[in-house]
Each structure stands twice: as C-alpha cells, then as structure tokens.
C-alpha cells in the first residue's frame, strides 16, 4: 500500500511540539492585540446571514472570483493561495497520523496528497516568482513596497524550496517504490545521487530542522505581517454588506441624546470599520480604479484605509498610556455602568494625537470622492471605503459647517426651492404640463408615477429627455402622472455631500406627499433618484416599486406595447454606452440599456471601461455642484475614452452623465464628430 515512514532520519522530533506552542502563542497574542484595537469601535452586527457568508467564502475566498478579474496578479494570487491551502491540508494529515496516531497517510489519500502537494507547491513557487517580478521588476504604481513584503516573499519561497529539497534528499538516500507520486522531489533526487549515505542523512536532518524552524517562524510572524489578510480577508468577505450597496447609516434627529453627528474620531466608527483597515491587503486595485486618483487628485482610497490603520494603532497606544496615567476611580458594582458612561472619552488633544479629519485624512480628499464605489467594486475582500468618507463629510457639514462654498449654494437652493438650481418651486411642473402631462391630482388613477427629478424638470438639456420619455410612454398607452409642484429634490446630492438633515427633510416631505396619493409604482429617468427612492426611502416609510426608465422601456418593448417603425438597416449608426455608476455598480443594471440600443438598430461598441469597471463621469457624490479645481477634469477623461472608440453617438441613461459628457465633448471641440444622447431620446426618434 502506498505510504512512507514519517520522521525518517529525525531524532528528537518531539522538539517540534514546544516550538509549535511558542509559534501559536505568538500567533494568538498578535490577533489578541488586533482584537483590542477593533474593540475601540462601536458595536455593529455583521452576523445576520450566516448562509450567505459561507457562500461568499466559497465564491470569493476559495475560488477567488474577484481576485481573478485582474488576470496577472489574479493568477499569481490563486497559485499562492491554493498552494497554501493544499500544503496546509497535507501537513494536517501527516500531523494527524504522526502526532495523534490516526491511520490516514496511506493508500489513495497518500497518492492524492503526494500528487497535489507537489503540483500546487510548484504552482505556489511560480506564483511567488510572479509576485517578485511584479513587485520588484515591473513595479506598478499601485504597489507600495515595504520591508515586510520582501521578508514574506523570501520566507515562503525558502520554505517551499526546502520542502522539495527534503523530499528529494530522502528519495536519494532511501529507496521509495512510491517516489514517482512526489514527482518534483523524484526529478530533483538525481542531483544528490553522488553523495554518500552519511552525507545524505546529515543534509536531510539539517534541511528538516531548518525547514521546521522557518515554518514555525512563519506561523508566529503571521498576524504581524501582511499575510494576516489571509484570515482577515476571509472574515471580511464573510461579514460583507449584502443587498443594495451604499446605504449610509441613518441618523435619528429625534434622538435628543445625540450630541454629535457624523464621525470625526476613530472611536466613533464601528468595530467593523476598524477591522476593514486591518483586512486591507494593499493590493491597490481601489487606487487603480479611482477616478479622482487617476485624474490627478490627492485622494487615494488605499492611502485613506492604510492611514486609518496606522492611526488606529496610534490611538490604541495613546489610550493605553492615558488609562495607565489616569486610573478610573473605584466605584461600587451598583451603578458602575452609569459612572463609566458619565466619564467622557479623552480628546485627541488630551491623547496627543493628530486630528483624524485634516491631519490624518486631508479635507480635500473627502470632497474629491465621487462616491462611484469603483474602489469597493474592485476590492477582492470587500473593504468599505465610501461610507467612511460620507460619515466624515457629515461631521464637517453638520458639526463644523465647513464645506466647499459651492455646496452652500446647492444646500440653500434645495432647502428654499426644492432643487439645486434654486429655480422657483412653483414652476417645477411647467415644462411637463406644457407638453400634456397630467398631475396625480388630475389623474389619481394613474398606473405609474413619473418622477422626472430636478434635471428633468428644470435643466433645458434634460427636459428633452423628459419629452422623449413622455412621448414613448404615450405611444405605449401608459397611464401615468407626475407629482408636479409637490415633488421636491430626492435629496441624493444633499445626503452624499454630508447634509443628512437636509436630506431627511426632503425625503420625509416627498414620502408624505406620495403616501397621501397612494403611490405604488414609480418610473424615474435619473439613476440617483432611482437609487435613493428604491433603496434608501424605505427606511423612512417610503416603500414603492421603483423602476429606472431603461428597465421600464425594455419591459414595454418586450411586451410589445412599444414598437418602432423608423429603423433602417441602411442607416445603422454606431454607439458607445456609458454606464452610470448609480445605475450600474449600485443597481447592476447593465443589459437593459444595451438591449434597447440594439432594438433601435444601433451597433454597440464598448469603451475600455464598461459595465462594473465603468469610469465615473465625475458628477456623483454631489460633485455635480462642486468645482473641480485639482488635476484633470474627470468628465474630460471619460469623454476622451468615448472619442477613442470613434462612434457616431455616446449613449447615456443619467442626466448628470449626459451633462458631463456633453461638457466634455464641448471641451474637446468634438461636437461635429459625436453627439451624446439619452437612450429615451434615441428610442423616441425611432417611433
């Protein structure tokens, strides 16, 4: 039966047990220290869905779904990860037999372990060599080399190589009828055939102990190194947010006990937010996909997470020193909780710490974010960047009244007139009623509430989109109506810019109006309105079926209610479609817009950044109302990408995107070459 002698040629192998206990002691102590840092954060329940968590561990952890989206580093990481998994499994089986007496390491399992350990061990070496090449030869911008990176690569590589050498020397010294199953060692054994048995035995013992010491060092060093992400990353995948993304934490403005709004101190974040900073593996995919960073802004999502990690360590150390210098007064057990609650936490100044906002994270970085969440979409372990930014914006707006001057004007306009432009609220319905659209008061039996949004009601360019959508719904005999002057801004820009109170006021007023009219189903042409009405209003009592106009038009086409008669095969034009962040990444609507463009007889050609890797237009996160004063304009970069495709048209499904790309086309003086149109406009021209 296939097997081999364990601990052959090794005397005193019992020493591995105390070495192992020492290594595990360092391992446990390392994670114990990190746990105390995470516990500085506020409570948060991330254990609601165990079944989904296990599924994510399989999909994103074991099978590396997101890792593989970036081919070279993806394959590299898979080779190393699966080499690690298979070799750990093999070592466990050997230990169960050699140290616990379980009779496992023989027969089919022995053959499987020998073959898989040799194959995946070699793949792990290939992966490590790829990592060394990438980190020290090609040196992509997103990688910031630290000493720990080199130490780890060298340590793991030496452990793997010595493992194969031990196998080869043993095979050279002792005949093994099953040697071929360990094919890597079998091929290497020929290098040692000329050595004497004594020399082979001595060399084997040296390699074995050297390999063991390195392996124990690896275990003990694990939580203090970048490799800690192997466990923390899996845990982060298990505990990730599910369902609609980007829903900020709600502030209860009726809670009179709240003294601060937003977050300006590390200890105000949840423990999971702090855990995120440790789970981050510094791979830089967020940086590589951040429109603000790529356009030359100072903002770097990776740096924010890593700087918060360093600040977490500084805070933990400072709190320890403060507690030692200021011991809590002894109190009776009864009432101790009340006494503890009454003791105010020390400020950053008392702790001798830098301020989180301004010194650790520059304010301009917080305002540069477009909330496109490309950073989060590309992160292989689901680090949550954007919510931290919004929480800190809230503090600046609600507590410090410190924000860009342009935001002040947008806030004032939304508060006074219910729209960011500041146009009188009594004129909101004028354009749409002027083209024959009824209000819900005039048509209370309407099947659909059409929500044009501020852009569709006030902006001259986007009024053309509203007119096109109205024409299409009328053609399909849809019974629809608008709120008219009762509609206010949905509050998306206010919320993303940190003015949660203004958002709350707008949202609750809109919800009260819609509920009074018994609204059930809403169609909107703005992805920002769509996202907030669908995913964020329910928390405030606004529960409706919300559909984006590309979804709804696709339904009308598929059902046969909407047909086109003005499509000519001889007049086929080309188009490239720009995926809106709030329609695509936030709500995974990618296929319906493209299906509509094909129905309209257009040839769709994709830009380099498309679908979930689409490049932001630059207007999200309230940036529509702010000046872009640093680096290159994001909308110009996206327009350049569209122009490189050389199509006749650029298709959009978002009023902000349409405005930004039109501005980009004008900036590049390309109006004669290409036109930007909303999908509704394209379809309306075909009926």
The residue written with tokens 């405030």 in the block is 540
- How does pLDDT run across 393-435, given as a tens digit for each residue? 999 999 999 999 999 999 999 999 999 999 999 999 999 999 9
Decide if 622 contacts 497 (C-beta within 8 A). Answer: yes
Rounded to the nearest 10°, the torsion over CA 508, 513, 516, 518 is: -100
Tokens linked to 396: 């600046």
> What is d(CA 156, CA 176) in angstroms, rounded to the nearest whole number?
27
The residues with which 675 forms a beta bridge, in sequence order, are 649
* Residue closest to 518 by CA, chosen among 449, 429, 470: 449
d(CA 359, CA 369): 18
Using alpha carbons only, give the angle 358, 364, 365 rounded to the nearest 5 degrees: 90
Residue 616, pLDDT above cutoff 80: yes
Q: Which pLDDT score, from 0 to 100, does residue 339 have?
A: 43
Distance in angstroms (rounded) separating the CA atoms of residues 674 and 646: 8
Helices (H) and strands (E) counted in the chain, each on its own, are 29, 8
The token pair that represents 401 in the structure block? 């009244």
Coarse DSSP helix, strand, coil percentages of the chain, rounded to the nearest 5 percent: 60, 5, 35
Residue closest to 6 by CA, chosen among 116, 100, 118? 100
Query: Which residues lie closer than 8 Å to 512 by C-beta, 6 or more apart?
Result: none
CB neighbours (10 Å) of residue 318? 16
Q: Which residues contact 647 (CB under 8 A, 6 or more apart)?
A: 573, 574, 575, 576, 605, 674
- Position 341 scores a pLDDT of 45
Assess contact for 550 and 583: CB atoms under 8 A: yes
Cα separation values, 301 from 279, 375, 395, 444, Å? 14, 7, 19, 48
> Which residues does residue 14 pair with via DSSP β-bridges, in sequence order?
none
Residues 6+ away with beta carbon under 8 Å from 428:
418, 419, 457, 458, 484, 485, 487
Q: Which range among 247-256, 417-426, 563-572 has the greatest average pLDDT?
A: 417-426
Model pLDDT, residue 331: 54
Instruction: DSSP for 594-635, please give it.
Output: HHHHHHTTPEE---SS-GGGPPP-S-TTTGGGS---SSS-HH
pLDDT band at 329 (very low <50, low <70, confident <90, very high): low
Question: For position 432, what pLDDT does the model report?
Answer: 98
Q: pLDDT at position 20, please? A: 96
pLDDT of residue 330: 59
Helix axes 386-394, 301-325, angle to 10 degrees: 60
Q: How far apart are CA 532 and CA 538, in angstroms?
A: 9
What's the mean pLDDT in 320-343?
Answer: 64
CA dist 518 and 542 (Å) reads: 11
Stretch 160-166: mean pLDDT: 97
Contact 584, 611 (CB under 8 A): yes
**Region of poorest pLDDT, from 182-191, 231-240, 321-330, 471-480:** 321-330
Residue 611 in this model has a pLDDT that exceeds 90: yes
pLDDT of residue 342: 45
Predicted local distance difference test score (pLDDT) of residue 332: 52
pLDDT band at 344 (very low <50, low <70, confident <90, very high): low
pLDDT per position as a tens digit, 8-64: 999 999 999 999 999 999 999 999 999 999 999 999 999 888 999 999 999 999 999
CA distances to 35, 53, 170, 184 from 202, rounded to whole Å, are 44, 49, 11, 21
Q: Could you tell me what percent of the chain has a pLDDT over 70? A: 97
- Total-model pTM: 0.92
- Residue 638: partners with Cβ closer than 8 Å, 6 or more residues away: 291, 578, 615, 616, 617, 618, 660, 661, 664
Per-residue model confidence (pLDDT) at position 15: 95
As a whole number, the mean pLDDT across the chain is 94
357 forms beta bridges with 361
Concatenating the DSSP letter of every residue in 464-533 gives HHHHHHHHHHHHTT--EEB-GGG----SHHHHHTT-HHHHHHHHHHHHHHHHHTT--EEEES-HHHHHII
Rounded to 10 degrees, the C-alpha dihedral 171/173/174/179 comes to 10
Asked whether residue 569 carries a pLDDT value surpassing 80, the answer given is no
């Amino acid at each position: 039966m296939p097997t081999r002698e364990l601990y052959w040629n090794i005397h005193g192998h019992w020493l591995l047990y105390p070495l192992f206990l020492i290594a595990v002691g360092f391992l446990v102590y390392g994670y114990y220290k990190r746990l105390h840092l995470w516990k500085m954060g506020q409570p948060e329940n991330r254990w609601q869905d165990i079944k989904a968590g296990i599924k994510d561990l399989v999909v994103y952890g074991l099978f590396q779904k997101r890792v593989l989206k970036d081919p070279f580093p993806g394959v590299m990481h898979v080779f190393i990860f699966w080499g690690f998994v298979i070799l750990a499994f093999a070592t466990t089986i050997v230990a169960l037999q050699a140290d616990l007496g379980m009779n496992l390491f023989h027969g089919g399992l022995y053959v499987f372990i020998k073959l898989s350990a040799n194959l995946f061990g070699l793949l792990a070496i290939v992966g490590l060599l790829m990592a060394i090449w990438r980190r020290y030869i090609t040196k992509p911008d997103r990688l910031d080399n630290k000493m720990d990176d080199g130490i780890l690569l060298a340590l793991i590589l030496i452990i793997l190589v010595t493992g194969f050498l031990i196998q080869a020397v043993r095979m050279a010294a002792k005949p093994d009828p099953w040697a071929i199953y360990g094919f890597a060692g079998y091929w290497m054994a020929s290098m040692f055939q000329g050595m004497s048995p004594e020399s082979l035995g001595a060399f084997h013992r040296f390699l074995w102990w050297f390999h063991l010491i390195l392996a124990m060092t690896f275990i003990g060093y694990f939580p203090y190194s970048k490799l800690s992400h192997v466990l923390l990353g899996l845990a982060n995948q298990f505990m990730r947010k599910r369902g609609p993304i980007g829903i900020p934490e709600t502030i209860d403005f009726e809670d009179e006990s709240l003294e601060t709004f937003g977050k300006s101190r590390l200890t105000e974040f949840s423990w999971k937010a702090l855990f995120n900073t440790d789970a981050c593996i510094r791979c830089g995919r967020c940086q590589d996909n951040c429109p603000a960073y790529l356009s030359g802004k100072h903002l770097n999502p990776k740096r924010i997470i890593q700087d918060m990690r360093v600040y977490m360590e500084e805070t933990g150390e400072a709190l320890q020193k403060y507690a030692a210098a200021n011991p809590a007064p002894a109190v009776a057990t009864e009432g101790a909780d009340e006494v503890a609650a009454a003791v105010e936490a020390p400020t950053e100044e008392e702790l001798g710490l830098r301020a989180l906002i301004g010194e650790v994270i520059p304010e301009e970085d917080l305002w540069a974010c477009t909330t496109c969440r490309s950073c989060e979409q590309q992160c292989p372990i689901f680090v949550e960047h954007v919510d931290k930014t919004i929480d800190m914006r809230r503090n600046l707006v609600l507590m410090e009244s410190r924000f860009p001057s342009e935001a002040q004007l947008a806030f004032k306009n939304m508060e006074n007139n219910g729209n960011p432009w500041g146009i009188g609220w009594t004129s909101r319905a004028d354009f749409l009623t002027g083209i024959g659209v009824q209000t819900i008061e005039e048509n209370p039996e309407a099947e659909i509430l059409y929500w044009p949004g501020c852009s569709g009601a006030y902006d001259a360019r986007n009024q053309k989109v509203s007119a096109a959508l109205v024409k299409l719904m009328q053609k399909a005999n849809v019974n629809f109506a608008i709120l008219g002057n009762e509609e206010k801004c949905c509050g998306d820009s206010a919320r993303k810019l940190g003015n949660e109170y203004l958002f709350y006021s707008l949202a609750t007023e809109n919800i009260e109006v819609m509920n009074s009219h018994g609204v059930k189903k809403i169609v909107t042409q703005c992805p920002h309105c769509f996202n907030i009405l669908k995913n964020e209003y329910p928390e405030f009592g606004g529960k409706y079926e919300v559909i984006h106009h590309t979804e709804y038009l696709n339904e009308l086409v598929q059902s046969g209610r909407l047909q086109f008669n003005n499509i000519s095969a001889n007049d086929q034009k080309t188009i490239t479609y720009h995926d809106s962040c709030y329609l695509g990444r936030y709500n995974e609507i990618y296929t319906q817009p493209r299906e509509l463009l094909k129905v309209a007889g257009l040839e769709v050609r994709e830009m380099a950044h498309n679908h979930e890797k689409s490049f932001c237009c630059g207007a999200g996160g309230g940036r529509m109302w702010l000046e872009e004063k640093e680096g290159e304009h994001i909308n110009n970069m996206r327009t350049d990408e569209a122009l490189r495709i050389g199509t006749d048209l650029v298709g959009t499904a978002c009023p902000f995107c349409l405005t930004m790309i039109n501005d980009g086309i004008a900036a590049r003086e390309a109006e004669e070459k290409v036109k930007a149109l909303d999908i509704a406009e394209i379809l309306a021209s075909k009926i």
